[in-house]
Amino acid sequence: MNLMECIVQNKMKKSNIGIILLSSLSMAVLPANASLISSWNLNGDYSDSTGNGHAGAGFGSNFLVDSPSNSNLQSANFNNSSYVALNQSFSGVGSLSEFSASAWFKTTATGNNWSLLDFDRSDFFNMVVTGRGGIAFSTSTGIIHDMFSLKTGLNDGNWHHVAVTYGAATGKTIYIDGAADSSTSYNGALGTFRTRFGFIGDGSEASSFNGKRNGLYYDGLISEVKLWDESISEQAVSAQAVRAKVPEPSTLAIFALGMIGLASRRLKKQS
The domain segmentation of the chain, as residue ranges, is 36-245
Contact 225, 102 (CB under 8 A): yes
At the second CATH level, the architecture of 36-245 is: Sandwich (2.60)
* pLDDT in the model for residue 243: 60
Q: Helix, strand or coil for residue 149? A: coil
Give the residue from 85, 30, 59 showing the smallest Cα distance to 203. Answer: 85
Residue 86 has pLDDT above 70, yes or no: yes
Indicate the DSSP class of residue 219.
E
- Which amino acid, residue 205? E
What is the rounded distance in angstroms from the CA atom of residue 189 to the CA atom of residue 167?
8
Other beta carbons within 10 angstroms of residue 235's beta carbon come to 9
Residue 84: which residues within 8 A CB-CB, separation 6 or more?
Answer: 40, 42, 46, 56, 57, 58, 59, 61, 76, 199, 200, 201
What is the rounded distance in angstroms from the CA atom of residue 162 to the CA atom of residue 176?
5
* pLDDT in the model for residue 66: 95
* pLDDT in the model for residue 56: 98
Q: pTM surpassing 0.85? A: no
Give the residue from 50, 42, 87 showing the smallest Cα distance to 225. Answer: 42
Give the residue from 231, 221, 87 showing the smallest Cα distance to 167. Answer: 231
* pLDDT in the model for residue 20: 39
Residue 235 has pLDDT above 70, yes or no: yes
Residue 91 has pLDDT above 50, yes or no: yes
- Average the pLDDT over 129-141 and give the result: 97
* pLDDT in the model for residue 182: 98
* pLDDT in the model for residue 43: 96
What is the rounded distance in angstroms from the CA atom of residue 132 to the CA atom of residue 114?
11
Residue 248 has pLDDT above 60, yes or no: no
Contact 266, 43 (CB under 8 A): no
Average pLDDT, the chain: 85
Residue 257 has pLDDT above 70, yes or no: no
- Which amino acid, residue 111? G
